[in-house]
Amino acid sequence: MQKEGVSPLDRLKGIPVLPILNGIGPCDPLRIAEALMEGGLGALEITLREEEAHNALCAIRKEFPGLLLGAGSLFETEQVEWAADQGLDFGVSPGWQPELWEKAQENDFIYFPGVLTPTELSGVLGSGCRTVKIFPIEPVGGLAYFRSLTAPFQKFPVHYLPTGGVGEAQVSSYLAEKGVISVGGSWITPKDVIFNEDYPAMKRLAQRAMKLLHHDL
């Protein structure tokens, strides 16, 4: 939900690590959102890998309208439309499906498709999309691969979201790269913390993440 005068992309620039929640488990999603916000990290992506994710997103959107909230693992145009209708701020996919980008445009909805190769990135940028998730970045070479992949596309004003295996120690290096708007990270919402409903630990992780913010696009 866009704050007056501030676009979701501008807000994302102030988020060094975008927390990614891949499963709700026994946790109360409202407590998760609250813990992140108390830690100063006002953003969250919940992947639509389970049915409970839809209810969690709706509940968080209603209770915390100021939270930068997005849906991940989008594979169908109906999911993009649903996310836009719920007032979510952005959507993310692991791959590139042109029809999802077209649906996002129809709904004036910020969308990050996933790419991993120059061919995929060229196709995305050729469509007019300028928000891109690079996934999974660490298993294929990390920062060195990111630099090699993006170097030929320097003329495009792209907002990159490197995601996939990026730990706390790598975040600052990615944020220093041109075009990186934020870094996706599930280490802020690890499975053991979720399973144990350890909200104070989640708050501390959010606080640690915010200390990594020192990049300039």
Report, as residue numbers or ranges, the catalytic residues.
45, 133
HEC string of 76-141 equals CHHHHHHHHHCCCCEEECCCCCHHHHHHHHHCCCEEECEECCHHHHHHHHHCCCCEEEECCCHHHC
What number of other Cβ atoms are within 10 A of residue 168's Cβ?
Answer: 16
Distance, CA of 115 to CA of 129 (rounded, Å): 12
Distance, CA of 118 to CA of 121 (rounded, Å): 5
Q: What's the farthest any 2 CA atoms get from each other in the chain? A: 46
Q: Are 62 and 83 in contact (CB under 8 A)?
A: no
Q: Are 202 and 37 in contact (CB under 8 A)?
A: no
| φ, ψ dihedrals at 48, nearest 5° | -85, 55
Distance, CA of 90 to CA of 60 (rounded, Å): 14
Distance, CA of 57 to CA of 67 (rounded, Å): 11
- Residue 121's identity, in one-letter code, is L
